[in-house]
Amino acid sequence: MISCDAVNSQLLEKAEVQQKLAELLNCSLNQLDRKYIAQRIFSSLDDRKTVEEYLHGQIWQKIEKWRQQNQDEEFLFVEVPLLFETGWDYRFDYNVVIYASEEKIYQRLTSQRKMSVRDIAQRLAQQLPAEEKKQRADYVIENEKTLKNLRDNIDKFLKSLK
């Protein structure tokens, strides 16, 4: 499995990526950190489009390289948090949504990531509604309960593939 969030994190550590983002956002390297980037992309549609266009291209290159390196595997899983928003859903054989209610998302992000309600709302406003994602998915895996329950649901899904 490859995670777009993990690839994005790796990219943000690279000096050449930081330099390009500073150029795109017209800021100094000293200003550029994850919090600053998030503030800019969630408050300006133009900044968001500019940064996403650059980073998504970089992320997709990494995914393609990984897919080529693992082409002999029976199944390849790519975790794409913004799958439908990026328009990448057509690039995959099947699309799976792991679903949690908005209430559960708020609860988890405020307690686990210490995010503010305002920041969560700002990010969710940039995404498709969960119900639309569920309708567009080939499979939906419920994630309302415990981590063990989620793992059990994923195991059931994986067994259904075989």
C-alpha dist (Å) from residue 3 to 30, 36, 141? 28, 22, 17
Asked if residue 124 lies in contact with residue 102, where contact means CB atoms within 8 angstroms, the answer is yes
Do 62 and 112 lie in a common domain?
A: no
Rounded Cα–Cα distance for residues 1 and 103 (Å)? 28
67 within domain boundaries: yes
71-83 confidence digits (pLDDT tens): 999 999 999 999 9
Query: How many domains, the chain?
Result: 2
Do 52 and 118 lie in a common domain?
A: no
Do 69 and 1 lie in a common domain?
A: yes
Write down the pTM of the prediction.
Answer: 0.88
Q: How many CA atoms lie within 13 A of 97 on its CB side?
A: 21
Neighbours of 7 (CB within 10 A): 20
Taking all residues of the chain, what is their mean pLDDT, rounded to a whole number? 95
Asked if residue 130 lies in contact with residue 102, where contact means CB atoms within 8 angstroms, the answer is yes
Structure tokens at 24: 């795109």
Among 77, 108, 133, residue at a domain's last position:
77
Do 45 and 115 lie in a common domain?
A: no
Dihedral Cα 76, 77, 82, 87, nearest 10 deg: 30
Does position 149 have pLDDT exceeding 90, yes or no?
yes
Report pLDDT for 48: 93
Domain ranges, residue 128: 92-162
C-alpha dist (Å) from residue 55 to 23, 52, 75, 121? 13, 5, 26, 23
Report pLDDT for 42: 87
Report pLDDT for 58: 96
83-114 confidence digits (pLDDT tens): 999 999 999 999 999 999 999 999 999 999 99
**Average pLDDT of span 55-77:** 96
Do 98 and 71 lie in a common domain?
A: no
Asked if residue 55 lies in contact with residue 11, where contact means CB atoms within 8 angstroms, the answer is yes
Do 43 and 104 lie in a common domain?
A: no
Give the three-state DSSP class for 101.
coil
80 sits in the region (left: phi over 0; alpha: psi -120 to 50; else beta) called beta
Does position 34 have pLDDT exceeding 90, yes or no?
no
Q: State the residue for tokens 């800019």.
A: 40
**Average pLDDT of span 139-144:** 96
